[in-house]
Chains A and B, each alone.
Chain A
């Protein structure tokens, strides 16, 4: 007996109204203020009298946006690629041998337990360590992100790989494939959903991260977009219109990615968690 597909209009309207005011409200404010001039600020919430696009060009110049964008883009994309490649491989090795070998079992708990170590505990000594190894720059921080992803990603990937039937790998072995080949040609493609989740989580983490760049990247030319906002706030916070234009320019790439990949992103987050 199929239930009639009756739309619950009350719920729909309620959810829509809340979404508009609570979610879109702050965004509206951000956009509107970014487009205004100081004299328009009398009636804060009203639409700007004219579009002051010069706020954006000034903020672009003052925060050295192109350079910071490139820095952040470099860090985020390199991290994404290498994280997925290396972390999935490590998780595979661990989960397939965990029950056979003390070493891999140890590795499993070693990585997972590290998830509970708050960043603050290692922050101060990490700073010293990183500079001793000349890692307090873009390349170093990228490496650190890749490595620091291991705890969470081992957890996520191993949960997923556990559910993959061993039969596939055994078949590959019979066909003469060695371990690496088995991983890359059979397992890795099957990891797509989880890789999507890991990709999104990594991207969000590195793009929006503030604390690690704050303590590791002292050179202004190497700083990230988020860090630049913090710096900017100190220098130009009297000029809200400039500041908001700057914030908007940092939000726009993420929003663009979201608009195009939104279904894929949400699916990745939800399906990944189900399998985990």
Chain B
């Protein structure tokens, strides 16, 4: 053991990091800190403001529209995460099977990821409003004879589109995970008599655990911040039925002159997202360690 380790770090390393770190501090951290500061004021974004301490945060916990937005966002994020991951895993297993035209199919299923949430939102907005009702009427299904985006089930429409688009990325991650599983393991397993679902649960799934971790953390984080597709399809409506936290911050923060109040909202959102992500990582990494 060389106790006299050379701890001299070449100045070049500092040059690689310090300039971008400085810019990062200026453009990311400072606004973040400012945002936190503003949440203790009543600033509208322009004009005069005063320091009001924790008033915004107290109001936050009493405000019914906040409760609704958080409630809906969690409901949405949870449903989306479960659906996307279950379907992606299933699809990945399918694509990993002995099928023809694998590359073409992979290419097709990955396509939605490339298309951007806003435009896809617009396209589906049209489909839900002008095409589905036609089919619904023909098939005699009352639920589908109207534009679903105008009913209390509007969130299902948004969910559908979100899942449609998000599956692509997660599927590919799972697929690459499945491909790291050595075929010999499967052969050994079938010798022991483990097939199908049993094989999946006992063998495949634990081996792809790290990929599960990545997907879960990324999914939850991004669904908690859903914005684009909602802007494109319902604008947060009907009423406030599909207003997510991000929508609330954008609309009320800029439009409603609630700049400071929504900054408080955003700070709380950050704490929520950060703790959930850290929590998830801790749990899932423990599981990974157990498996290994």
B125 CB to closest chain A CB, in angstroms?
A: 9
The stretch of A47-55, A61-69, A258-266 in contact with B is A258-266
Contacts of B10 in A (CB 8 A): 178-179
- B116 interface residue, CB < 8 Å from A? yes
Beta-carbon contact of A233 and B122 below 8 Å: yes
B105 in contact with A118 (CB, 8 Å): no
Over the window 213-257 of chain A, the binary record of Cβ atoms lying under 8 Å from chain B Cβ atoms (1 yes, 0 no) is 001000000000010011001000000100110010011001101
Residues in A whose Cβ lies below 8 Å from that of B266? 118, 120-121, 123-124
Chain B interface (Cβ < 8 Å from any Cβ of A): 7, 9-10, 12-14, 16-17, 20-21, 23-24, 26-32, 34-35, 38, 45, 91, 94-95, 97-101, 103, 105-120, 122-124, 126-127, 130-131, 134, 164, 169, 172-173, 175-177, 179-180, 187, 211, 214, 221, 224-225, 227-228, 231, 245-246, 249-250, 253-254, 259, 262-263, 266-267, 269-270, 273-274, 277-278
* CB nearest neighbor in B for A232: B122
Of all chain A residues, the one with the shortest Cβ separation from B176 is: A270
Please determine whether A208 and B253 come into contact, CB atoms closer than 8 angstroms.
no
Please name the residue on chain B nearest to A5 by beta carbon: B98
Task: Enumerate the 5 nearest inter-chain pairs by beta-carbon distance, A residue then B residue, closest first.
Answer: A208-B116, A270-B176, A179-B12, A93-B16, A121-B266
* Inter-chain contact B13/A93, CB cutoff 8 Å: yes
Q: Give Cα A93–Cα B17 distance, bound, in whole angstroms.
A: 7
Contact yes or no, B211 A273, CB < 8 A: yes
* Given known A-B contacts A107-B17, A124-B263, A24 and B32 have beta carbons under 8 A apart: no
The interface residues of chain B lying within 8 Å CB-to-CB of A271 are 176
A58 within 8 A of B: no
Secondary structure call for the B interface:
helix
Q: Is A15 an interface residue (CB 8 A)?
A: yes
- Of A73-81, A142-150, A160-168, the one with at least 4 CB within 8 A of chain B: A142-150
Most B-side CB within 10 Å, residue of A90, A207, A233: A90
In Å, the complex CA distance between A120 and B284 comes to 27
Q: Which residues of B contact A240 (CB under 8 A)?
A: 126, 130
Docked pose: A124 CA to B29 CA in angstroms: 13
- What residues on A are CB-neighbors of B32 within 8 Å? 117, 121-122, 125
What CA separation (Å) do A89 and B14 show in the bound complex? 11
With beta carbons under 8 angstroms apart, the residue of B29, B94, B172, B250 that contacts A11 is: B94
A97 to B277, CA, bound (A): 26
Closest CB in chain B relative to A235 CB, distance in Å: 14
Q: Which of B20, B38, B112, B227 lies in contact with A124, CB distance below 8 A?
A: B38
User: Is there contact, CB below 8 Å, between B16 and A226?
Assistant: no
Q: A129's contact among B23, B34, B127, B253, by CB below 8 Å, is which? A: B34
Q: Smallest CB–CB gap between A139 and chain B, Å?
A: 13
Among B12, B119, B259, point to the contact of A178 (Cβ < 8 A).
B12
With known contacts A266-B107, A273-B211, A26–B94 Cβ distance under 8 A: no
Nearest-CB distance from B254 to chain A (Å)? 8
Confirm or deny: A174 has a beta carbon within 8 angstroms of a beta carbon on chain B: no
By the criterion CB–CB under 8 Å, are A12 and B123 in contact?
no
9 A-B pairs besides A29-B127, A129-B30, A230-B118 with CB distance below 8 A are A11-B97, A11-B98, A90-B21, A93-B13, A100-B7, A122-B31, A123-B266, A244-B126, A255-B114
Assess whether B111 is in contact with A118, with CB atoms less than 8 Å apart.
Answer: no
- Chain B residue numbers with a CB within 8 Å of A107 are 17, 21
A269 touching B35, Cβ below 8 Å? no
Partner of A90, one of B20, B95, B177: B20
Please judge, given known A-B contacts A90-B16, A114-B28, whether A121 and B269 are in contact too, CB under 8 Å: yes
* CB atoms of A86 and B20 under 8 A apart: yes
Which residues of chain B are within 8 angstroms of A26 by Cβ–Cβ distance?
Answer: 120, 123-124, 127
